[in-house]
Structure 1
Amino acid sequence: MPASAPVSVRDLPDVGEALAKKLEKLHLHTVWDAALHLPLRYEDETRITAIADAPFNTPCQVQGTVAHCEILFQPRKQLLARIRDASGGEINLRFLHFYPNLVRQLAAGQTVRAIGEIKHGFFGAEMIHPKIRTDTDAPLAESLTPVYPTVAGLAQPTLRRVIAAARARIDDGEVLPEALLAQLKLPPLRQTLERLHRPAPDTAPHLLTDPAFPPRQRLKFDELLAQQLSMRLARHAREQSRARPLHGNGAFGKPFAAALPFALTPAQQRVCAEIRNDLAQARPMRRLLQGDVGSGKTVVAALAALTALEAGDTVQVAVMAPTEILAEQHYHKFHRWFAPLGINTVLLSGRTRKKAKDAAKAGLADGSIRVAVGTHALFQNDMVFCDLGLAIVDEQHRFGVAQRLSLNDKGDNVHQLMMSATPIPRTLAMSFLADLDVSVIDELPPGRTPVRTKLVNCRRRSEVEGMVLHACQHGRQAYWVCPLIEESEALQLQTATETHARLQAALPALNIALIHGRMKAAEKAAVMAAFAAGKTDVLVATTVIEVGVDVPNAALMVIEHAERMGLSQLHQLRGRVGRGAAHSTCVLLFAEPLGEVAKARLKVIYQHTDGFEIARQDLQIRGPGEFLGARQSGAPMLRFADLDSDLHLLEAARQAACELLARHPEAVAAHLARWLGSREAYLQT
């Protein structure tokens, strides 16, 4: 079936500009968007339950005559009405917020229907803020009444009317092959939507929200299939586009590798070979390099840059980092490594002085500068590269899609190497990153020592200070990380400035420095250089040291208010120690009471050191959004499927996508038009 343009919700009856804007807040732009907007729950208005038989704590509909109604003012203003029916039962209806019209509707002698849950109240059985209907002669509903997610100002009756009108306008054709649906035991789409929007009265409420309910399985599969199809089409389009091959000759890479004080691990060598092969192709590389903390991604990135630079005298490389301190760390490493090879490297960030920035921009424009390291400053409109061949993006999930694309626009189909120290769980990579090639550094360099993790209540802070003193007296250094810079009355967290002052008072024999994101670039660089050189015993820091900092002599990491941080951040911070031969320890200071999520995070980080296992459990705790950065912003890309519990459907969708692209291109177009609409182009980024 050929794909037709989706019908806009604005074309539905009685949908004016004001209503259309409210629908757009729910990401409902087309009739298919509306048809796929599923209920949160259901109300049973198909029957009236006698008040005497009405169950507690279960939604039901009762009908009775108002025996008494009054406005009370103690302990607060509220409306209280009592109704009774022929069964002899009575129930109170309590409203804490009401309009005068409701008082008139509940006048004594009126007959009303009330829908809600009955609770035990001070004056007996009551419904709090039930839905009231006064048209008691109206016929009962023929199906369960859906209750949809909505926004302020968009009432349920209006939303139900719009969704019903949308379902009437969608095309009835089943675009997926019958054999595929039969193999997976999935119902037709039209039947699926009908059963979820207008369930029969005898349908058990728990069944409708059960993830294993066949109609929900059908929607999950369709959603995953749309995602897989879009990703594969994006990959195909990239593979069909042209880019300049970058053939390295080893002129830079061989002397660089020979000068390293260590040998590359087999995993690093394998990944380097994959990158070299990609760069030599006439299509743009889009490779994600992932590896655990300390696995040696920066060296691999440097070798990739050198391969690109070997391909021509004018080829340039851009290295982009999300924070200034990480960009500075990368710059110092690349400058130290590349200067002996005669390669000019420049740093560009928001704090770069105008004179230096103008000189750097001129050098990049005329090609005299080959490597630019920086933050978002690299993709400003006035930044011009003479011949950008490779863009390396570190911590890629922390950049927006538009930012990454704007860097790509600085050249002609620039090769891209994206790096992440947050290991991506397999299901996430299969799902959201199917358009990328993925390389994994799955082993740590020799000499890295396991880091012991300790959970310590903040009431025992003095003991931790003793651990810091002991470590420093034995020639080691320590980090003490705090989540805030200044006092916050709302959170009342220990701040970096307070901690710095307290540690100086408690440990006067030690040289203790402070670093945070609001310091000037030169100040931060000086503090880090002193710590790296061993002139500072303890570095009190905010999370600016989360990534990129490499001081082998640092053997103790103390993380203040660890319960406030995410698993990825905790794992990154812990990875700043254990980089030398000495045994290292990470102390997680926490404050009680702990919420359930905080307990779960601390348990995971205490029990596991493997980044992939931590990432897998983190995915279960917080979902995929933060792993993917701006890929996941805007309309949610997975509304129905759950990557952890629906792996079988994801596998089936991957296989089906291959089959449909090969044999049923018309079904592919129709399916994507239904499921993605305007989001398809966004997904392909």
Structure 2
Amino acid sequence: MTLETSIEFLKNIGTERAKLIKNVLGISTVEDLLTFYPIRYIDKSKIYKIGALTKEPDADIQLRGKITDIQEVVYEKGKKRLSAKFRDETGTMDLVWFRYTNWMKEAIPLNKEIFIFGKVSFFNGNFSMSHPEIEADEKKALYGTLLPVYPGSEKLSKRGISNKFFQNVIYSLLKDLPNLISENLPNYLMKSLKLMDRINAYYDIHFPKNFKQFEEADRRLKFEEAFFFQLGYGLKKLHQKTKSFGNPFPIVGDYFNNFYENNLPFELTNAQKRVLKEIRTDMKRSTQMNRLLQGDVGSGKTMVALLTMLIAMDNGFQSCLMAPTEILAQQHFNSIQELLENTGIKVRLLTGSSKTKERKIIHEELENGELSILIGTHAILEDKVKFKNLGLAIIDEQHRFGVAQRAKLWAKNNIPPHILVMTATPIPRTLAMSFYSDLDVSVIDELPSNRKPIITAHRREKDRLSVYNFCREEIEKGRQIYFVYPLIEESETLDYKNLMEGLESVMNFFKSYNVTMVHGRMKPAEKDINMQFFASGQAQIMVATTVIEVGVNVPNASVMVIESSERFGLSQLHQLRGRVGRGAEQSYCILMSDDKLSKESRTRIKTMVQTNDGFKISEVDMELRGPGDILGTQQSGVVDFKKLSLIEDSAIIKASKLAVEKILEQDSLLNHPDNQMMKQYYIRQYKGKNKWAQIS
């Protein structure tokens, strides 16, 4: 027998049962059965006394005593039930069976000491137990003391595939365990981290003698999953560093220094300085930089991107910044062009809307090296776009680009450019450690000192008049207001109706102000005109759908009113809120909602009111939605761990990551004799399967 052996060849299973178990639980091999872990345990370590019971116990319990009397009772149209008296030295309890009464009547031992186990009920002044398990053998009654409860279904139970069935099959299988599996972690690692060995971990995850043994087994198996997952990423990262040559940028010269001394509009935050130092260290090397830059909305990522591009210029290289939408590309272009005013440094914008004449100029200037900084969308990837010497590619919100698109960017130079990936969508730390561990991660976790935290409030329909009055007060101070409505694709017509009704309501109340509108049905040109009308300050109010989630930078906007906020996801609410608070004035986000809210909606709104920290928000979002949804890869089985939880096991993930880094630092090819079992296991089990390392 091997781990690949079909379960149909195991005792008491056979072809039909194997087929049913596979269909219901997805278990087809011995390995599947070994990793079919209990969902909880029944504690048989304690024997209760009837006289000591004061109320219904929360869990199933075990008692020792004798059955002294059995009666068959006929009730309801000839149906039978079996009633019995169970006694111990402290009292009496009723036992009852509604099924298999004839068989049970013969099987129940009278006046012999037995163990019963089950759920106790209190009815008509007496304690009783329905369908208790009965065990006459003391050793069997107490074996393991913690008995596993496996996932099951009614469909399986009807075919005799019960929890007891799985207990017996797996208990029998564990006797062969030393012939089935071997250790896959080095001794030195298990010793340093005080990890249980693999064979005992499987014994004790299924049949632990106590909860301490279970916890040790659980920790070992979780660590194993995390460790080999991290090993895949670690080996890929190592491969990138040794095989992915890059142009070294050793110089920080006049372009950077002159801008820093003469044009920097504000002092960099400590977080920005730290991140720049990390980027500079990467780019000094002759290997390609692959760095993920996380920063909350308004944290100053664009400034870091610009300073990085100036370092590229100091070393004789060109840079490009690619954004997923024209609006976002335009915003980056406007910001960078404004920052570089009076420096003589040329910046161009290339998008799908760029005119033919403009494109031709850009193509020529890129090829002859006259243009050093290009901002754009997917248009940068076109074959006609040829750089003289591309040394740095910055990708904003990279999850919106496909792998093939990013590969085209890499190919814009013989030696791949350094890569800086930016995201304003905070990634929970456990996900960053797991699914982005082939990238070096930098975090800007500090806002510029001139920014005041946004005040967020939750209001309902009854508060609408006071919300409108507050908005009017802000407009009178010279500020601008957003009203945002949800957009759900399944009911586009309904959403359009809601938006139109919202626009009418706003226009009726704010009659003396200019109101503009933006929604998904508009043509890009019309949308841009309306956005510009608001951005220029000519309109005091913008009514919009979520198209403003990214790409609008209006420092004068101080209030964001989000209608039907319960229909938005947490990260989306946070991104929308980030459209205000971009100036020095106090800003506000008002979450409007129905009176009746689901528990999840209440949690989302409460989180928004309590914190502005995007990383805290992302952690709550992951708890609510699960890791797969956050990564956008749920349908692909991103959380394929049998034991490990990306939400609850961050300490184990961190420990596994550190362990992998240390091992690869000392033995990058895993050739040391102590690492051979680990290497062989990885090659056999994981090589080629760790697809997530290919995506990030």
* 1:182 Cα deviation from its structure 2 partner: 4.3
State the aligned residue count.
638
- Find the partner of 1:475 among 473, 478, 482: 478
- Find the partner of 2:518 among 492, 515, 539: 515
Matched, 1:192 2:201: yes
What's the CA shift string for 1:398-428, capped at 9, x where partnerless? 5666765675567664432111223445555
Matched, 1:295 2:299: yes
In structure 2, distance between residues paired with 1:151 and 1:319: 54
The secondary structure found in structure 2 opposite 1:393 is strand
Partner of 1:505: 508
Contact 1:396/1:419 (<8 A) preserved: yes
Contact 1:482/1:494 (<8 A) preserved: no
What aligned pairs does 1:70-469 form with structure 2 within 5 A after superposition? 82-85=81-84, 89=94, 91=96, 109=102, 111=104, 144=147, 146-148=149-151, 171-197=180-206, 199=207, 203=209, 207=211, 213-245=215-247, 247=249, 262-263=265-266, 265-267=268-270, 268-305=272-309, 307-308=311-312, 317=320, 319-321=322-324, 325-330=327-332, 333=335, 341-348=345-352, 363=363, 367=367, 371=374, 373-374=376-377, 386-387=386-387, 389-397=391-399, 408=410, 413-424=416-427, 426-469=429-472
Matched, 1:581 2:584: yes
The secondary structure found in structure 2 opposite 1:495 is helix
Q: Which amino acid aligns with 2:475?
A: C
Greater alpha carbon shift after TM alignment, 246-255 vs 339-348? 246-255
Greater alpha carbon shift after TM alignment, 552-561 vs 244-253? 244-253
* 1:683 Cα deviation from its structure 2 partner: 3.5
Partner of 2:535: 532
In structure 2, distance between residues paired with 1:187 and 1:226: 16
Fraction of identical pairs, as percent = 33
Greater alpha carbon shift after TM alignment, 499-508 vs 528-537? 499-508
* 1:318 Cα deviation from its structure 2 partner: 5.2
* 1:245 Cα deviation from its structure 2 partner: 0.5
Q: Which amino acid aligns with 2:296?
A: D
Partner of 1:3: none
In structure 1, distance between residues paired with 2:197 and 2:528: 62
In structure 2, distance between residues paired with 1:624 and 1:569: 16
* 1:505 Cα deviation from its structure 2 partner: 1.9
* 1:555 Cα deviation from its structure 2 partner: 1.0
What's the CA shift string for 1:20-44, capped at 9, x where partnerless? 9996997879765553331223579
- Find the partner of 2:678 among 668, 673, 676: 668
Change (3 A) 1:234 1:69: farther
Where does structure 2 lack aligned partners over 5 or more consecutive residues? 87-92, 108-115, 135-139, 667-671
Contact 2:7/2:29 (<8 A) preserved: no
Contact 1:223/1:638 (<8 A) preserved: yes
Contact 1:605/1:614 (<8 A) preserved: yes
* 1:528 Cα deviation from its structure 2 partner: 1.4
The secondary structure found in structure 2 opposite 1:603 is helix
In structure 2, distance between residues paired with 1:91 and 1:489: 58
Q: Which amino acid aligns with 1:552?
A: P
Contact 1:67/1:109 (<8 A) preserved: no
What's the CA shift string for 1:268-311, capped at 9, x where partnerless? 35434433443343222110112222112123223434544666
* 1:675 Cα deviation from its structure 2 partner: 6.8
Contact 1:480/1:539 (<8 A) preserved: yes
Contact 2:560/2:590 (<8 A) preserved: yes
The secondary structure found in structure 2 opposite 1:555 is strand
Matched, 1:570 2:580: no
Q: Which amino acid aligns with 1:680?
A: N
In structure 2, distance between residues paired with 1:153 and 1:672: 35
* 1:534 Cα deviation from its structure 2 partner: 0.6
Contact 2:72/2:83 (<8 A) preserved: yes
* 1:127 Cα deviation from its structure 2 partner: 10
Q: Which amino acid aligns with 2:374?
A: V
The secondary structure found in structure 1 opposite 2:690 is helix
In structure 2, distance between residues paired with 1:37 and 1:513: 58
What aligned pairs does 1:486-635 form with structure 2 within 5 A after superposition? 495-616=498-619, 618=621, 624-630=627-633, 633-635=636-638
Change (3 A) 1:453 1:360: farther
Partner of 1:36: 35
* 1:533 Cα deviation from its structure 2 partner: 0.3
Q: Which amino acid aligns with 1:288?
A: L
Q: Which amino acid aligns with 2:512?
A: A
Greater alpha carbon shift after TM alignment, 479-488 vs 37-46? 37-46
Q: Which amino acid aligns with 2:293?
A: L
Change (3 A) 1:249 1:239: same
CA RMSD of aligned residues (A): 5.4
Change (3 A) 1:183 1:524: same
In structure 1, distance between residues paired with 2:565 and 2:194: 46
Contact 1:228/1:653 (<8 A) preserved: yes
Q: Which amino acid aligns with 2:504?
A: A
Greater alpha carbon shift after TM alignment, 356-365 vs 491-500? 356-365
Change (3 A) 1:487 1:616: closer
The secondary structure found in structure 2 opposite 1:456 is strand
Partner of 1:103: none
Contact 1:449/1:582 (<8 A) preserved: yes
Greater alpha carbon shift after TM alignment, 355-364 vs 501-510? 355-364
Q: Which amino acid aligns with 1:242?
A: S
Contact 1:9/1:28 (<8 A) preserved: no
Contact 1:116/1:127 (<8 A) preserved: yes
Q: Which amino acid aligns with 1:279?
A: M
Change (3 A) 1:423 1:153: same
Q: Could you state the TM-score of these two structures normalised by the residue count of structure 1?
A: 0.74
Change (3 A) 1:174 1:273: closer
- Identify which of structures 1 and 2 has the higher relative contact order when contacts are C-alpha pairs closer than 8 Å and 6+ apart: 1
Q: Which amino acid aligns with 1:298?
A: T
* 1:605 Cα deviation from its structure 2 partner: 2.6
* 1:537 Cα deviation from its structure 2 partner: 1.1
Change (3 A) 1:586 1:189: same
Whichever of the two has the greater Rg, that structure is 2
Matched, 1:682 2:692: yes
The secondary structure found in structure 2 opposite 1:480 is strand
Q: Which amino acid aligns with 1:535?
A: Q
Contact 2:488/2:495 (<8 A) preserved: no
Contact 2:295/2:301 (<8 A) preserved: yes
* 1:256 Cα deviation from its structure 2 partner: 6.7
In structure 2, distance between residues paired with 1:591 and 1:10: 54
Change (3 A) 1:396 1:485: same
Change (3 A) 1:486 1:290: closer
Contact 1:485/1:497 (<8 A) preserved: no
Q: Which amino acid aligns with 1:578?
A: G
The secondary structure found in structure 1 opposite 2:481 is strand
* 1:582 Cα deviation from its structure 2 partner: 2.2
